[in-house]
Each structure stands twice: as structure tokens, then as C-alpha cells.
Structure 1
Amino acid sequence: MKLLHKEILIARHFKNAVFKNSAIYIITLFIGALLLFAAFSGWDNYKSQNETSEKYQHESREDWLKNPDKNPHRMAHYGNFAFRKSTSLSVFEFGMEPFFGNAIFLEAHKQNTANFSEAGFSNSMLRFGEISIAMVLQVLLPLLIFFVGFNSVAYERENGTLKILLSQGINWKQFLFGKILGIASVVMLLFVPTIIVLVLIWLLLQSFSISADETIKMLLFVGFHFIYLMFFCVVAVLVSASSKTSKKALVSLIGIWLILTIILPRTTQAIGAYLYEAPSKIRFNSDIEKDILKQGDSHNPNDVHYKAIKDSLLRVYKVDSVQKLPFNYSGFIMTEGERISSNIYNKHLEDLLKIYEKQNSFSKAVSFVNPYIAMKNLSMGLSNTDYDSYIDFQQQAENYRYNMAQKMNALQIKYISNKKPGPKDKPLTIDKRHWAIIEEFHYEPKPVWEVLKSEITAVISILLWIILLFVLIKIAAKNLKAI
């Protein structure tokens, strides 16, 4: 307790000294105002996007059910929509969500990509990034920490008080931890109110009805951001302690901040995309079309591949025409065509995702030398606003689309006659009540354990950085000089 008492005294003295500078009040008020604006804009964006998604998902469902008696295959081509709802934590971490679409049109024989991204309807300023609570915590608060802590030790060395303090029974380890606590106490004046507001908004968005999964995500979101800020507190003190003057410490810390938060993230993305080049969207779709054409056209009765299927069916059922088959031949062929085209698409998509995975793995590996990238990746993962969440939405929508098309094909096989109607006959249709067998699409965000599994590199790198900093403090305590 006595040793802790010394560290608290050093922290309290440092905190009082910091608030003697009027500039700190201006900076604190500015960042506080940004946090309030970020909270408001996040809330407004979340409410607007989810209300829009719910509205059009409901309308899409109603339109589907209101269809009259119809041929099931026409219903498969009529299609449906899949909308992606945001999670409550996306209020604080926008991540990549503004650049990814949140709606997909689902139809037979064709896989569409997500459309209607926020960036698509915004001006170019969105490319510079939106102001979110996560951005303030991850980018601006570290800069505030460096501004507060650059002279924490260097100033004591410059004015000669460091030598006096160390000669009065305070060792380097106590002194460094006292300064770290002092910087942390200043930052907590912004961090703690932010977290209180964050949790309150989070509860209100869910009407105070929260799941265990969302609760764990919130706790991890808060906990890792706290660790992340403590990392910068330690860095500020260590750099200040190893610098001869406050000026050198300030220049060094600003350089570190620029490299970690601005230069490295953009450079990493560019290098990853260069090393593992992905095909263009046009080339991707063209390659799929070529492979599908090699397998045949299910809508062409004279296609070689599907003619072979017809001949085999006629032999098995010992009939001389498809009209005599005990099931609808066209529905059977459509089922086979859907299976083939989906398998081809999934194979090409799998190859494309492997390229993107390599690009992202390069970025994740860099998190071992840049805690900002690690924190950003983990934050986006917990908020379901990362690339993996977008791909998960695409895959859920594709599974829904495939099941929808095959259920319609199954209805055609079962209920539609092989005999074509005459000019005056009623079209071949089934009762519209069958449309209800297709359930409404609901996007399910990734659970927390899947997020941690995909972001395990980020978690490990943050923990390793904390361990490394404590080791550096121990080394510094033995080797630092008062002069």
C-alpha cells in the first residue's frame, strides 16, 4: 500500500499539472463534442437504416405472398429480396458498413451481389471516413494521450526535478507507473462518460432486452478499448522517459501516431492488394458464365448435356416422351440446372474469397507491429461491420436463394403436368397458398465466438503488446538515467 501510495501521489500531482494548462480544456471539450456528435450520428444512422431494412423486407414478403396462382418456375424468377440489418454495436463502429451494400435481389439461376451501400448515395467526403465513437477512441484519444504525456518525464529531467525525486526514495518503476496512472486519469475523464453514454444508447436500442451474445460483445468492445488506450499511455511515458527534451519526445510521439494510425493502415491495404491481386467484377462474372455454358443451358431443350439427362430418364421409366414421365420434366431439369450453376458460382466465389483472405491475412499479420490495426479489426468484428460479416451476409442470402429456387422447382415437379396447354386452355399454375412455404429472410449476425475465432490474431497481438510494454517498463526502470 505504501508503494501504491507513492504512485498515486505522482499521478495526482501530474494530473493537477496537466489541468493548469488551459489548452487541455479546449482539446477535451473539442473531443467531447466530437464524441457526442458521433453518438448522435451513429444513433440516427442505425435507426434510419434498420427502419428502412425492416420496411422493405416486410414489403418484399407481402409482395411475394400476394402473387396470384402461377407456375412455380415463374415465381422463382419473380424473386425475393434479402436485407441486412445492423447490429447495435454498429452505432459506435461503422467499420466497412457504409461501403458494403445491405440489400440483395434473389432470383433463380443468378447470384447477385449486395447493392445500395451508403457510400453509393454519398459524396466523396465519405471516403475520408465518418466520425464514429470508435474512430475517436482509436485515433483521437491516442493523440490526446501523446499531447498530455509527451513531457511527463522529459520535463522533469529538463528542469532538474527528476534527480531530486529519485533521490527521495522513489525508484524508476514507481515513477513510471505513477506517470502512466496520471495520464490514464486524465483520459478516463473522457473515456468513462463515453462508455456510460455508449452503454445507455446500446440498452435503449435493444429496449433493455439484451442477449448474452450481445452482452459479451459489448464487454469485449469496452475492455479491449480500455487496454488499447492504456497501451498509448505506456508508450507516451516510455518515449518521454527516453528523450532528453520534451520537444524530442513530442516529435517522436507524433511520428509514432502518424505511422500507426495513418501511414501503416493505408500502406498495408495497398501492399496486400498488390501482392494478391483479385479479378475484376466483370472478369469474375464472365468466368462464371463461360463455365456454366460449358455445362449446358437448362432452358435449351436441344442442349447436349440436358438431352443426355432426358434420354437416361426415358430409358429408366421406359417411355418414349417426356410427357409420359410421372413427374414434370422441366422442373427436374431446372433443379439440375440450378444445382450446376450454384456449384460453379460457389467454386468461383471460394477462389475469390481465398484471394481476399490472403489480402486480409497480410493486414492481420501487420497487427503484430501495429496495435491500431489489431484494435480496428477486433472492433469491426465485434460490431459485425467487418469484411467477414459482409461475406457471411452474402452466404446467408445465397443459401436462402438456392433453397427458394429449389423449393419452387420441387413444386413444379410435383404439381405441374408435362402436357403443354392448348391455346384456349388455362395456363399451368398452382395455388398461391404454396408461396408461404418460403419463409421470410432474416439475417443472423455472427456470434461472439465466431468473431473471436476469426479475429484471434488481433486478440493475441494486443495481449502481446501489453506484455511487451510491461517488459520494456521493467528494462527502462533498470537502465534510465536521471540526467
Structure 2
Amino acid sequence: MRIHIVRLISKQVWKQSLQNKAVVFLLMILSLLFVFAAYTGWQDYKVQENNRIRHQMEVRQQWEEKPDKHPHRMAHYGYLIFRPRYPFSFFDYGLERYMGNSVFLEAHKQNTVNFSEAGFSTGMLRFGEVSTAVILQTLIPLFIFFLGFSCISAERENNTLKVLLSQGVKWKELLAGKIVGLLCLVSIVFFPVMLLSAFIWFSLAGFYTTVNEFSHLLLVTVVYLAYFFMICSICVMVSAVSSTSRSSLIKLIGIWLLFIVIIPRTAQAFGSFLYPAPSKIDFDTMVENELVKTGDSHNPNDIYYKGIKDSLLNAYKVKTVEELPFNYSGYIMAEGEKISSGIYNKYWKRQLTIYEQQNSINNSLVFVNPFQAVRNLSMALTGSDFNSYISYQEQVEDYRYQLAQLMNKLQMENISNKKQLPGEKPYTIGRDHWKELPDFQYRFISSRELFQNEAASGLSLLVWGVGLLFILHFISKKIKIN
């Protein structure tokens, strides 16, 4: 393959396209859309993050300023956590609008993340949002198809294809030149968009980032470049094997609808049909029914916890709980928390298994549809995917359990076992103990875990890239001039 011939053909594609006023107009529209998407994403992140930080500080201040109380009352008073967002999520909203923004933490009870934006929105949200990733994933392929649907079929119709090939141009050089030319046209808007996104990301992160975080930006760029190469290759191949430009355009629009609309929606619906998940009410009912079977830690006469009481008295060789070297009620609350958390986590893991089975339908189709692979990788690298949400919920539950057990520990160590007489002041501990609860620190998914979760999507892009190169090599020997 002669590089200078490929370069010459790509320049021809470049010049012919830019001489078309419709193409220039579309480039301007896409550029404005990208600026709008980047600006709204930037502002949305700033507003939400500023609100989160302010409200979280207020919650912390209110917690620490609570007066002297009984620790168990503080455990039921609870704590409020607001979900932080990954700075790069302005690029790809992913599941952000459906994840919820805050969760209330209290003893003996696991609450869901509430106040998602989807819950306060109309049905129009289902049609999608204007984000940088959505434009790159859905509109840029349409733009490429518009540019390249006639790149070879038109030359066949105009009888200029015979002239090109008779002058010594090889099919491989012609196909490669057309693909490179289309990629260069896409690069007019793509690289400025990525530079703008990088600047916004660094500004949101306070112009401080780690090598690990910077690698996410580079990987996003590589993923979308690979995606555009696939789209350009498909476009050129369809145009090469089509007898007319009209049939080429119809085929490409059909491919776009199949890849972007039909397969993803069908996979999602099919997964939910094959593996139906219990509703929120059903899930809570199952947890509550099993909790009832294990007894009530707040009931001193409960049969199950009476057995714990007897074993404690035997172990410490005492006759009454008042003689124990720690607060008996605090110990029982801690045991009850272990039991209730264990039951909840058991059913939660079952629920996650169902969700994973539903998602497995979509994940298995990444080898059929590169759009789904790109979408999965884009969401994962910007921290707006399903796995990030699950990681957040698990960390919140760990923090809630830590809060409840800290209050139980304070009760065991600082509250007397002696029964209070009528009229006596209720047992309390000093407010300084509330500061012992550490702040919640959310840890985003590590790169290693991210790559493990999206190994299939990454492999899919590799298979598609190699496969398209092989197909290009094959059809370059089989395409007919007429």
C-alpha cells in the first residue's frame, strides 16, 4: 500500500466535503451542540457539587452540635449522606439522573438512595439528555454516514471509479484513503471537544489530578477514536459494495437504527423479562419477614435474645445483667445490628445477582454492537455506570454499620447497667463523643476493578477493529467495479 496515494485520496475527501456548504453547516451545528453540552454539564456539576458540600457540612455541624444524649437515641437520630460525583461525569451523564442524591442512615434499617432527578422529571427524560458522550455516540455516526454514504458509490455512478483504478490506484488504497479522509473530518470537532473537556475536568478538580485519573481521559479519547474508525470503515465498505448511493444511504441508516436504537432497547427489555427483579416493596417485605423470625433486640423478653442473655451471665458468672462489666442493652443492640445487617446484605446480594443477570444480556451483545461497548466504557471511565453506583451503596452501608456500632460501643462503655429510679435524669454521655464518628469518604472504583468490570467491552472493540481490518482486506479483492 502506497502511503502517498492514501494521503492524496484522503485530501480529496477533505476538500470535496468542505466545499459542500451543507457539511460546513453541520460542522457548525455540531460544534455549537458540543459547546452547549460541555457548558451545561460543567454548570450542572458545579451547582450540584457546591450544594452537596454545603449540605454535607450542615449535616456534620448539626450532628456534632447535638446536646448530651443517650447513644442509642443518637443512633436513631441518624445521619444524612449526599452522593459525590466523579468530576469527569459532566462528559457522560450515564446513570447519574437515576442514581439518587442522598441517603438517610440510621440504626437497624437500610434506606435507599433517594431524590434522583429522574424522580422529579417528566417522561421527556427517557428521550435522553444532551451530553458530550451522547453526541459522540449517536450524532457523530450519523454525520459520518452523511459524509461518506456516496464516497465510492457516487464514483461508480459517475464512471470515475474505472478511471481511478485504471490509473493504478488499488482498492486497498482507495478504501484506506476514504476512511482516513472521513476520520480527519471528524477530528475537526472531536479533538477540540476533548481539549475543552480536559480543561473543564481539570478546572472542576482544582487543576490537580493523579496519573490514574488522567489515564481515564486518555482512554476515553482512544475509545472514541476506535469507535469512529469502526463507523468510518463500515460506511466506506457499505458504499463500496452498493450499486447506488441511494441504496448505500438506506443501508447505513438501517445500521444506525439497529446499533443505536433497536439492539440496546431490546437487550434491556429482554433482560428485565428473563430475570425479573423484586420491587422495592417486595424486597423490604422479604427482609422484614426474616427479621421477625430472628427476634426483636428492643424487646427484653424476646426468646432469641434471652438465650444471649443467659449465655452472657454464665460466661461472666453473674446472676443479673446489672453485674456485667459493660452495658447489657448496648451489647444486645450491637448483636441485633449484626443480625439485621447480615440479613439485609444476604437479600441485597441476591438482588445484585438478578441485576447482573439482566445486564449480562447487554454485556453479551457488545461483540455484536460496538455502540454498547463504547457506551459501557464511556460510563465506566467517567464514574457514571451501574458498578459505580453499587460501589457507592456498599460504602454507604459500611459507613451506616460503623455509625450504629460506634453508638452501641459508646453505650456499652459509658452507660450504667443500673436501672433508673423514677424522677432521675436519663442516662446520657457528653456531646464530644459525637465527633468520634469519622466523615464519610467516598472512594471511586479503582482502575483495576474498572478494567475487570469492562473487560468484555474492551475486548469487543479490539475484536471489531481487527475484524474490520480483515474484512477490508478481503473485500478489496472481491469488489466489482460495476
TM range (shorter): over 0.9
Give yes or no for contact 1:83–1:443 (8 Å, CA) kept in 2.
Answer: no
State the AA in 2 paired with 1:331: G
Listed as ranges, the matches of 1:79-118 within 5 Å are: 79-118=78-117
Q: Secondary structure at the match of 1:252?
A: helix
Hey, what does 2:248 align to over in structure 1? 249
Equivalent-residue separation in structure 2 for 1:154 and 1:322 (angstroms): 90
Describe the superposition over 1:358-416 as per-residue Cα deviations: whole angstroms up to 9, x where unpaired.
11111111111000010001100111101111111100000000011011101111111
Q: Secondary structure at the match of 2:61?
A: helix
- Do structure 1's residue 194 and structure 2's residue 196 form an aligned pair? no
Give yes or no for contact 1:154–1:244 (8 Å, CA) kept in 2.
Answer: yes
- Do structure 1's residue 48 and structure 2's residue 47 form an aligned pair? yes
Hey, what does 1:173 align to over in structure 2? 172
Q: Secondary structure at the match of 2:243?
A: coil
Give yes or no for contact 1:172–1:478 (8 Å, CA) kept in 2.
Answer: yes
- Do structure 1's residue 121 and structure 2's residue 113 form an aligned pair? no
Equivalent-residue separation in structure 2 for 1:43 and 1:289 (angstroms): 42
RMSD: 1.0
Give the deviation of 1:424 after TM superposition: 2.3
Equivalent-residue separation in structure 1 for 2:380 and 2:462 (angstroms): 17
State the AA in 2 paired with 1:443: Y
Hey, what does 2:184 align to over in structure 1? 185
- Do structure 1's residue 387 and structure 2's residue 389 form an aligned pair? no
Give the deviation of 1:150 after TM superposition: 0.3
State the AA in 1 paired with 2:373: A
How high is the sequence identity, in percent, across the aligned residues?
47
Hey, what does 2:152 align to over in structure 1? 153
Hey, what does 1:326 align to over in structure 2? 325
Describe the superposition over 1:158-180 as per-residue Cα deviations: whole angstroms up to 9, x where unpaired.
11111110111111000100000
Give yes or no for contact 1:216–1:448 (8 Å, CA) kept in 2.
Answer: no
Give the deviation of 1:206 after TM superposition: 1.5
Equivalent-residue separation in structure 1 for 2:36 and 2:456 (angstroms): 32
Give the deviation of 1:88 after TM superposition: 1.5
Q: Secondary structure at the match of 1:82?
A: strand
State the AA in 2 paired with 1:306: Y
Answer with 307-316 or 290-299: which moved more: 307-316
Q: Secondary structure at the match of 1:222?
A: helix
Give yes or no for contact 1:328–1:417 (8 Å, CA) kept in 2.
Answer: yes
Equivalent-residue separation in structure 2 for 1:120 and 1:276 (angstroms): 24
- Do structure 1's residue 141 and structure 2's residue 140 form an aligned pair? yes
Hey, what does 2:6 align to over in structure 1? 7
Runs of 5+ consecutive residues of structure 1 not aligned to the other structure: none
Q: Secondary structure at the match of 1:452?
A: helix
Hey, what does 1:444 align to over in structure 2? 443
Aligned residues: 482
Hey, what does 2:129 align to over in structure 1? 130
Q: Secondary structure at the match of 1:441?
A: coil
Hey, what does 2:363 align to over in structure 1? 364
Give the deviation of 1:420 after TM superposition: 2.1
Q: Secondary structure at the match of 2:477?
A: helix
Equivalent-residue separation in structure 2 for 1:141 and 1:191 (angstroms): 9
Give the deviation of 1:444 after TM superposition: 1.4
- Do structure 1's residue 423 and structure 2's residue 422 form an aligned pair? yes
Hey, what does 1:466 align to over in structure 2? 465
- Do structure 1's residue 226 and structure 2's residue 225 form an aligned pair? yes
Describe the superposition over 1:438-479 as per-residue Cα deviations: whole angstroms up to 9, x where unpaired.
101121111222111101110000111000000000001111
Hey, what does 2:456 align to over in structure 1? 457
Describe the superposition over 1:413-445 as per-residue Cα deviations: whole angstroms up to 9, x where unpaired.
111111122222221111111111110112111
Give yes or no for contact 1:72–1:408 (8 Å, CA) kept in 2.
Answer: yes
Answer with 247-256 or 60-69: which moved more: 60-69
Equivalent-residue separation in structure 1 for 2:238 and 2:480 (angstroms): 14
Equivalent-residue separation in structure 1 for 2:411 and 2:12 (angstroms): 80
Give the deviation of 1:122 after TM superposition: 2.3
Q: Secondary structure at the match of 2:103?
A: strand
- Do structure 1's residue 282 and structure 2's residue 276 form an aligned pair? no
Hey, what does 2:354 align to over in structure 1? 355
Equivalent-residue separation in structure 2 for 1:386 and 1:11 (angstroms): 37
Describe the superposition over 1:140-166 as per-residue Cα deviations: whole angstroms up to 9, x where unpaired.
001100010100111111111111101
State the AA in 2 paired with 1:288: V
Equivalent-residue separation in structure 2 for 1:167 and 1:95 (angstroms): 50
- Do structure 1's residue 238 and structure 2's residue 261 form an aligned pair? no
Give the deviation of 1:212 after TM superposition: 1.5
Equivalent-residue separation in structure 1 for 2:451 and 2:81 (angstroms): 26
Give the deviation of 1:319 after TM superposition: 2.3
Equivalent-residue separation in structure 2 for 1:375 and 1:329 (angstroms): 56
Give the deviation of 1:124 after TM superposition: 2.3
Listed as ranges, the matches of 1:268-347 within 5 Å are: 268-347=267-346
Give yes or no for contact 1:240–1:249 (8 Å, CA) kept in 2.
Answer: yes
Describe the superposition over 1:171-194 as per-residue Cα deviations: whole angstroms up to 9, x where unpaired.
100010000011111111111111
Q: Secondary structure at the match of 2:173?
A: helix
State the AA in 1 paired with 2:459: I
Answer with 284-293 or 424-433: which moved more: 424-433
Equivalent-residue separation in structure 1 for 2:212 and 2:295 (angstroms): 46
Equivalent-residue separation in structure 1 for 2:228 and 2:447 (angstroms): 23
Give the deviation of 1:9 after TM superposition: 0.6
Answer with 308-317 or 409-418: which moved more: 308-317
State the AA in 2 paired with 1:51: N
Give the deviation of 1:14 after TM superposition: 1.4
Give the deviation of 1:20 after TM superposition: 2.5
Equivalent-residue separation in structure 2 for 1:52 and 1:360 (angstroms): 32
State the AA in 2 paired with 1:477: S
State the AA in 2 paired with 1:9: L
Hey, what does 1:210 align to over in structure 2? 209
Hey, what does 1:71 align to over in structure 2? 70
Describe the superposition over 1:55-112 as per-residue Cα deviations: whole angstroms up to 9, x where unpaired.
1111111111111111111111111122211112101100001111121111000000
Q: Secondary structure at the match of 1:272?
A: helix
Equivalent-residue separation in structure 2 for 1:261 and 1:310 (angstroms): 62
